[in-house]
């Protein structure tokens, strides 16, 4: 899909937009394949657990597995972090071995991304997702960067700055048009996942820092919808109730809440707010042509304060990456990888505040790709 087709200078961007106020989204949700299946599965949360299990097997045979009978998928990140600095050297060696092998896989996957057209000339990659929120995740990221630099790849790899749970909410600020920050001091943000739905009241901090680097989540609510197994309509109802509760709290505490809701959602998001694919872990069929989450929420929350509610939804990897915008101004092209159930991904080009679209002004740009275009190219492979 050519970039020019997607460039629109509207007050509020379309859902899943390629042009946002601070960045152009060059690609997101790319699903590359290798001989074993989807490339991202090699560096997912599940992949790390499988690697840990492989390193435990030889010890299990001799009855010396330091983790006992606990399945690898049930060993918490907190436990693994404690083992890394604990006195049990054998257990620590197992975890270090798993980290090393996972870093090799993450380096392989990163190389493949960097070789793709959409990720050409990337200077920095931030790594988010659940695994990042641990010492073992930070070690894996640091080790991956060392591997890549040893191969003369000039790329910075670093953990995402904010806690992944907050990054998915803070990034929603960068979906909002700039006029919102002149008139209001906070927005509502939603981060939808296969297990949880998180809603937050996000204070912009715009008066302290126009680049939104001082923004913070002042209230948040978490619903583990996977425990309740709601229908799709039940999930929308629950989300609407959470948002209304935050609106009430914002008013009670004197926030000037913008009539804007930013949503991070898995999958390929179409311009009209429907989801083309990638939402299979959400409750019910979110990819149905008859379902539109932004429209459903506007029905439940038609106004915030005295104004009509505006909603913008984008891919969850994109939104998590957007939380880094204030801290990426020293590079032109950067990306995000989120290590979770799969490997979320997005690549950005910064837009300059001088009225241009970045110093290349769009002329030296690689063609925009997103999950939708890549999936069309794959054709029948999609079903495999």
DSSP string, 94-145: HHHHHHHHHHHHHHHHHHHHHHSGGGTT--EEEEESGGGSSHHHHHHHHHHH
Residue ending a domain, choose from 278, 294, 316: 316
> What pLDDT sits at residue 101?
98
Residues 379 and 277 in one domain: no
Question: What pLDDT band is residue 35 in, cutting at 50, 70 and 90?
Answer: confident
Residue pair 121/349 in contact (Cβ under 8 Å)? The answer is no
Q: Is residue 3 part of a domain?
A: no
| Average pLDDT score over residue span 191-219 | 96
Q: Is residue 153 part of a domain?
A: yes
The two tokens of residue 250 are: 């914002």
> What pLDDT sits at residue 316?
95
Residues 31 and 141 in one domain: yes
Residues 46 and 68 in one domain: yes
Reported as a single tens digit per residue, the pLDDT across 43-53 is: 999 999 999 99
> What pLDDT sits at residue 148?
96
Distance set, CA 300 to CA 219, 239, 309, 339 (Å): 21, 10, 10, 33
Please give the residue that has the higher pLDDT: either 161 or 34. Answer: 161
Q: Is residue 189 part of a domain?
A: yes
Residue ending a domain, choose from 260, 288, 316: 316
Closest by CA position to 173, among listed 201, 196, 150: 201
Q: Is residue 233 part of a domain?
A: yes
Looking at the predicted structure, is the pLDDT value of residue 360 above 50? no
Q: Is residue 6 part of a domain?
A: no
SS3 at position 86:
coil
CATH number at residue 240: 3.30.420.40
Reported as a single tens digit per residue, the pLDDT across 15-24 is: 999 999 999 9
Please give the residue that has the higher pLDDT: either 369 or 7. Answer: 369
Cβ-based neighbour number of residue 382 at 10 Å = 12
**CB neighbours of 146 closer than 8 A, spacing ≥ 6?**
none
SS3 at position 84:
helix
> What pLDDT sits at residue 369?
52
Looking at the predicted structure, is the pLDDT value of residue 5 above 70? no
Tell me the average pLDDT of the chain: 88
Residues 278 and 369 in one domain: no
Residue pair 109/43 in contact (Cβ under 8 Å)? The answer is yes
Looking at the predicted structure, is the pLDDT value of residue 11 above 90? no
Question: What pLDDT band is residue 12 in, cutting at 50, 70 and 90?
Answer: confident
Rounded (10°) CA dihedral 39, 45, 51, 56: -170
Residues 154 and 173 in one domain: no
SS3 at position 173:
helix
Quote the CA–CA distance of 382 and 295 in Å, as a whole number: 28
| Average pLDDT score over residue span 344-365 | 60
Residues 307 and 343 in one domain: no
| Average pLDDT score over residue span 233-257 | 97
Strand partners of residue 24: 19, 349
Q: Is residue 329 part of a domain?
A: yes
Residues 379 and 240 in one domain: no
Quote the CA–CA distance of 279 and 281 in Å, as a whole number: 6
> What pLDDT sits at residue 37?
77
Residues 212 and 305 in one domain: yes
How many structural domains comprise the chain? 2
DSSP per-residue letters across 331-358? -SEEEEEEESSSEEEEEEEEPPTTSSSS
The DSSP H or E segment spanning 264 is strand 257-265
Residue pair 187/176 in contact (Cβ under 8 Å)? The answer is yes
Q: Locate all alpha helices (DSSP H) within the chain, ordered by sequence.
A: 3-6, 45-61, 77-84, 89-115, 135-150, 164-170, 179-183, 225-228, 232-252, 293-300, 316-322, 371-378
Weakest mean pLDDT among 27-31, 117-121, 137-141, 261-265: 27-31
Q: Is residue 12 part of a domain?
A: no
**CB neighbours of 99 closer than 8 A, spacing ≥ 6?**
136, 139, 140, 143
> What pLDDT sits at residue 382?
37
pTM: 0.87
Residue ending a domain, choose from 288, 316, 344: 316
Domain encompassing residue 332: 20-161+324-384
| Average pLDDT score over residue span 104-125 | 96
Question: What pLDDT band is residue 353 in, cutting at 50, 70 and 90?
Answer: low
Residue pair 91/66 in contact (Cβ under 8 Å)? The answer is yes
Strand partners of residue 197: 192, 223
Weakest mean pLDDT among 19-28, 32-41, 157-166: 32-41
Q: Is residue 129 part of a domain?
A: yes
């Amino acid at each position: 899909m050519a970039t020019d087709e997607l460039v629109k200078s509207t007050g509020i961007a379309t859902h899943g937009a390629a042009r946002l106020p601070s960045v152009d989204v060059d690609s997101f949700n790319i699903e590359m394949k290798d001989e074993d299946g989807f490339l991202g599965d090699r560096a997912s949360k599940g992949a790390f657990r499988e690697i840990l299990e492989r390193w435990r097997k030889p010890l299990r045979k001799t009855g010396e597995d330091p983790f006992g009978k606990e399945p690898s998928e049930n060993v918490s990140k907190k436990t693994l972090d404690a083992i890394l600095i604990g006195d049990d050297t054998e257990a620590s060696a197992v975890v270090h071995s798993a980290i090393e092998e996972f870093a090799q896989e993450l380096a392989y996957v990163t190389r493949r991304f960097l070789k793709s057209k959409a990720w050409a000339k990337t200077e920095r990659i931030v790594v988010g997702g659940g695994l990042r929120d641990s010492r073992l995740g930070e070690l894996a990221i640091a080790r991956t960067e060392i591997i890549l630099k040893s191969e003369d790849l000039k790329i910075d790899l670093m953990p995402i700055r904010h806690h992944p749970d907050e990054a998915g909410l803070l990034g929603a600020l960068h979906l909002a048009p700039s006029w919102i920050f002149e008139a209001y001091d906070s927005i509502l943000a939603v981060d939808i996942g296969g297990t949880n739905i998180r809603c937050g009241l996000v204070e912009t901090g715009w008066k302290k820092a126009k680049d939104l680097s001082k923004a913070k989540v002042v209230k948040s609510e978490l619903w583990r919808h996977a425990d309740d197994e709601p229908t799709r309509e039940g999930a929308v109802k629950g989300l609407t109730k959470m948002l209304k509760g935050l609106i009430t709290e914002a008013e009670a505490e004197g926030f000037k809440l913008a009539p804007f809701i930013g949503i991070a959602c898995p999958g390929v998001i179409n311009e009209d707010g429907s989801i083309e694919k990638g939402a299979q872990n959400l409750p019910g069929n979110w990819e149905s042509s008859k379902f539109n989450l932004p429209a459903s929420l506007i029905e439940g929350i038609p106004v915030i304060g005295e104004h009509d509610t505006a909603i913008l939804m984008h891919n969850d990897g994109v939104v998590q990456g957007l939380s880094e915008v204030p801290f990426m101004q020293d590079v032109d092209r950067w990306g995000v990888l989120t290590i979770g159930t799969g490997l979320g991904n997005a690549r950005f080009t910064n837009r300059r505040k001088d009225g241009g679209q970045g110093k290349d002004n769009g002329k030296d740009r690689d063609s925009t790709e997103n999950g939708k275009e890549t999936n069309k190219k794959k054709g029948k492979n999609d079903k495999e």
